[in-house]
Amino acid sequence: MLITFTDGSQAEFPAGTTPQDILKERKRPGDPLVVGARVDGQPVDLTRPLHQDTRLEFLTFDDPEGRDIYRHSSAHLMAQAVRELYPGAQLGIGPALEDSFYYDIQLPEFLNPEDLAKIEARMAEIVQRKLRIERQDVSKEEAAKLFRERGENLKLELLDEMDDAISVYRQGDFVDLCRGPHLPTTGYIKHFKLLSLAGAYWRGDESKPMLQRIYGTSYPTAEALQEHLHRYEEAKKRDHRRLGRELDLFSFHPEAPGTPFWHPKGLVLMEQAIQYWRQMHQRAGYQEIRTPLILSDVLWRMSGHYDHYRENMYFSRMEDRDYAVKPMNCPSGLLVYKTYQFSYRDLPVRFAELGHVHRFEKSGELHGLIRVRAFTQDDAHIYCTPDQIESEVVNLIGLIFEIYNTFGFHEVRVELSTQPEKSIGSAEMWRRAEKALENALAKADLPYELNPGEGAFYGPKIDFHIKDSLGRSWQCGTIQMDFSMPERFELEYIGADGERHRPVMIHRAILGSLERFIGLLIEHYAGDFPLWLAPVQARILPITDKQHDYARALRERFQAAGLRVEADLRNEKVGYKIRQAELEKVPLMLVVGGREAESGAVSLRVKGQGDQGSRTPDEVIALMREAVDQKRSLLKEDEH
RNA sequence: GCUGGCGUAGCUCAGUCGGUAGAGCGGCUGAUUUGUAAUCAGCUGGUCGGGGGUUCGAAUCCCUUCGCCAGCUCCA
């Protein structure tokens, strides 16, 4: 048979030769570890015999598929160790993740974090055994018999739903139902660490029993593993919950779980973000409104929230009338729309609302600022004709990316979700709306993922996701078409024909939740905010108390220029004040001693970059004003 | 909500076998008058998350409750 390699070269091999055999002939010293092969585009085991002419590629750990093979075999290794240590263990599923792996296992006893070390030790031992990992294609009956004998009921359940093309992988006494591919032997797995334990419902179903999930990661070199662990530690340091306390931005209290208490410095972030947001929205043709927090249940019954969202709502009863705290702004926003009689000439109407909404989230869901029970949505509703959808969405996408850019977010994942099985509105309406969203995405030249059937029941949507420091992805922006509300609330506008028409409604948010967005900002900048956002933009550090009057005068001058400046008048040495300002991540320090007081100057120090020499206060003010106005960092290019 | 883990001073954390609760940082007071990441000294600090129980005696053991953390589930 004729094998074609990635470099275009070709060679003859006898049928039945495995990629591993071929690799032995072609390998040169210093080549990276090959963990699998790709045959005509399909990843396969290195030990899979080849029988016909093919294109052959070797996969290393640097290929995503290679990494998956490595991690997947690591998961099997871990499962084998657990089966050996806990004979009653039943395996669920154990896939590779982006940079780790896990296995869900049912055990008669609960594991402690200390047990992980035991499992790791056994894994190391199995690696030493250098067991061959062998694939076997079996029939469904054979597989069922095998797992029945081994008491693996969970595997039998999986098997039930599978077609007849079943493969199992063996390494020593261990067998797992698996599609593969895998490493040739357990000896390949060089460096691994088990990371954590957690519960996970079998097949993700709340009604099914909970299994124990063990997370781990593995790498071909010790350095790569160390680097992974180090990265994780660094990420934890920029966790917004930790920085929120350290930088005195906000706090949480058991008296109101899941709802942040903003401290003065944190509120500066919020207010700056809002100021900028208002400016952008005014420019984009929005009018801001504000509607009540508590509204009659009659409204919520009409909007459908009472039927679909009651579990997440807070209720109150006064004078025998029922009220609900709003979980969304749209119903009350619609009441505002209905006070007008709009003509087609008025459309699109864009009403924005920074609405404070309350949603009851299950206690286990709460997560710092990122998942809360009360938050401020940067909401807006656009009412337009069907013909205007596309251009509105194009403009909106532009606005969204401009705002994300200003905040330093350049990595955004975009998803388009289309009509779900259960939905309202005509097929024609859906087709048109989906097309409009697709066209808008194409015009914006945006790559996106398609989520067929994942739209809301009332319309298709585009979602924008941003990642947090630990790589978790969070939805911020959203553009949702809504065919339901205009019907329910009988919205109208007067068309050119003088008749009443129903407008299309677009719900949209850009930051999503201001609270969440600020949490993401904190992590994104690791607390080193660009000057325009920094809660304290500069701190004046007098060297002795003889400069206190000068420091106070300076402070006034900077504050008069609209800058957020403090003076550290404590009886401490300047080194101490500098250290503290650095730790508090104050971007600028203005050191003033006898010399500066004498000459009316300041000694400028930039956080993380040290002494910048003497400047006049006016020079520093001009520098700062410019950086603030341009929303960029001072004296250095924004790294984010 | 579910599974597991955790909760000791404002913060970070120690506390052995059940036997009078500790350190560093912080805060306060004083001395020092300081030149680019920690000056020195003294003082202060606690319902050991809350409640109940076992015990002569509980931070420590048990029950319960609240909160936090990881994951799962959910996310109109």
Mean pLDDT over residues A253-259, rounded? 91
Residues 94-113 of A with CB under 7 A from strand B: 110, 112-113
Reported in sequence order, the residue ranges of A78-205 that DSSP labels E, i.e. its strands, are 90-91, 101-106, 133-138, 166-171, 174-177, 191-201
Tally of CB atoms within 10 A around A193: 17
Residue A211 contacts by C-beta under 8 Å, 6 or more apart in sequence?
Answer: A92, A104, A105, A106, A154, A199, A200, A201, A202
Nearest to A214, CA basis, from A98, A106, A66, A61: A106
| Contact indicator for A392, A506 with CB cutoff of 8 Å | yes
The pLDDT of residue A470 is 63
CATH topology of domain A2-60: Ubiquitin-like (UB roll) (3.10.20)
Residues 235-264 of A with CB under 7 A from strand B: 241, 245, 252, 254, 257-258
A424: nt with nearest C1' to CA? B76
A594: nt with nearest C1' to CA? B35
Mean pLDDT over residues A545-549, rounded? 94
What digits encode the pLDDT tens for the residues A139-153? 888 899 999 988 888
Residue A127: left if φ>0, alpha if ψ -120 to 50, beta else—which one? alpha
Q: Which residue would you say has higher pLDDT here, A194 or A562?
A: A562
Strand B–CB A208 distance below 7 A: no
Residue A253 contacts by C-beta under 8 Å, 6 or more apart in sequence?
Answer: A261
Write the class of the CATH domain A538-639. Answer: alpha beta
What digits encode the pLDDT tens for the residues A192-206? 998 888 888 888 888
Q: A359 an active-site residue? A: yes
A541: nt with nearest C1' to CA? B36
A568 half-sphere exposure, CB direction, 13 A CA radius = 27
Q: A45 an active-site residue? A: no
Q: Which residue would you say has higher pLDDT here, A180 or A487?
A: A487
Number of H helices, E strands in chain A: 19, 32
Among protein residues, the one whose C-alpha sits closest to the C1' atom of B49 is A254
Confidence of residue A640 (pLDDT cuts 50, 70, 90): very low
Q: How far is the CA of A570 from the C1' of B42 (A)?
A: 19
The pLDDT of residue A636 is 52
Nearest to A614, CA basis, from A624, A601, A625, A623: A601
Residues 330-369 of A with CB under 7 A from strand B: 361-368
Tally of CB atoms within 10 A around A495: 14
Backbone angles phi, psi at A208, to 5 degrees: -90, 165
Q: How far is the CA of A317 from the C1' of B47 (A)?
A: 37
Catalytic residue among A71, A76, A358, A461: A461
| Contact indicator for A186, A131 with CB cutoff of 8 Å | yes
Length of chain A: 640
What digits encode the pLDDT tens for the residues A157-216? 888 888 778 899 999 999 999 887 999 999 999 899 988 888 888 888 888 888 899 999
What digits encode the pLDDT tens for the residues A355-386? 999 999 998 899 999 999 999 999 999 999 98
% pLDDT > 90, chain A: 62
The pLDDT of residue A171 is 93
H/E stretch holding A539: strand A538-542
Q: How far is the CA of A255 from the C1' of B47 (A)?
A: 18
| Contact indicator for A287, A258 with CB cutoff of 8 Å | no
The pLDDT of residue A637 is 47
Q: How far is the CA of A254 from the C1' of B13 (A)?
A: 23
Strand B–CB A455 distance below 7 A: no
The pLDDT of residue A471 is 67
% pLDDT > 70, chain A: 98
Among protein residues, the one whose C-alpha sits closest to the C1' atom of B10 is A245
| Contact indicator for A483, A429 with CB cutoff of 8 Å | yes
The pLDDT of residue A634 is 64
Same fold, A2-60 and A261-291+326-525: no
Q: Give dist(CA A536, CA A584) in Å, integer.
A: 9
- Work out the angle at residue A381's Cα, subtended by the Cα atoms of residues A376 and A383, and round it to the nearest 5 degrees: 175
**In the block, residue with structure tokens 């009338």:** A321
Is the predicted ipTM greater than 0.95, yes or no? no
The superfamily in CATH containing domain A261-291+326-525 is: Bira Bifunctional Protein; Domain 2 (3.30.930.10)
A205: nt with nearest C1' to CA? B73
Residues 120-179 of A with CB under 7 A from strand B: none
Confidence of residue A638 (pLDDT cuts 50, 70, 90): very low
pTM comes to 0.90
A502 half-sphere exposure, CB direction, 13 A CA radius = 13
Strand partners, A567: A540
* Domain ranges across chain A: 2-60, 65-238, 261-291+326-525, 538-639
Is the pLDDT at A448 greater than 70? The verdict is: yes
The pLDDT of residue A469 is 63
H/E stretch holding A153: helix A153-160
Residues 581-640 of A with CB under 7 A from strand B: 582-583, 589, 591-596, 603, 605, 607-608, 610-611
Mean pLDDT over residues A251-261, rounded? 92
A239: nt with nearest C1' to CA? B69
- What torsion, rounded to 10 degrees, do the Cα atoms A437, A510, A630, A235 define? -110
What digits encode the pLDDT tens for the residues A452-465? 888 888 889 999 99
What digits encode the pLDDT tens for the residues A73-106? 999 999 999 999 888 888 999 999 888 899 999 9
Catalytic residue among A178, A330, A384, A476: A330
Reported in sequence order, the residue ranges of A174-271 that DSSP labels E, i.e. its strands, are 174-177, 191-201, 210-219, 250-251, 261-262
Write the class of the CATH domain A65-238. Answer: alpha beta
Strand B–CB A563 distance below 7 A: no
Q: How far is the CA of A573 from the C1' of B32 (A)?
A: 10
Mean predicted lDDT score pLDDT of chain A: 91
Nearest to A386, CA basis, from A310, A459, A446: A459
Q: How far is the CA of A569 from the C1' of B41 (A)?
A: 21
Q: Which residue would you say has higher pLDDT here, A531 or A86?
A: A531
Strand B–CB A465 distance below 7 A: no
The pLDDT of residue A7 is 84
Nucleotides of B under 7 A from a protein CB: 1-5, 11-12, 31-39, 66-74, 76
Among protein residues, the one whose C-alpha sits closest to the C1' atom of B12 is A246
Backbone angles phi, psi at A76, to 5 degrees: -65, -45
Q: A68 an active-site residue? A: no
A88: DSSP letter = T
Q: Give dist(CA A441, CA A397) in Å, integer.
A: 8
SS3 state of residue A7: coil
Residues 290-319 of A with CB under 7 A from strand B: 303-305, 308-309, 312
**In the block, residue with structure tokens 């975009």:** A414
Q: How far is the CA of A178 from the C1' of B57 (A)?
A: 59
What digits encode the pLDDT tens for the residues A206-249? 888 888 999 999 999 999 998 888 888 888 888 999 999 999 99
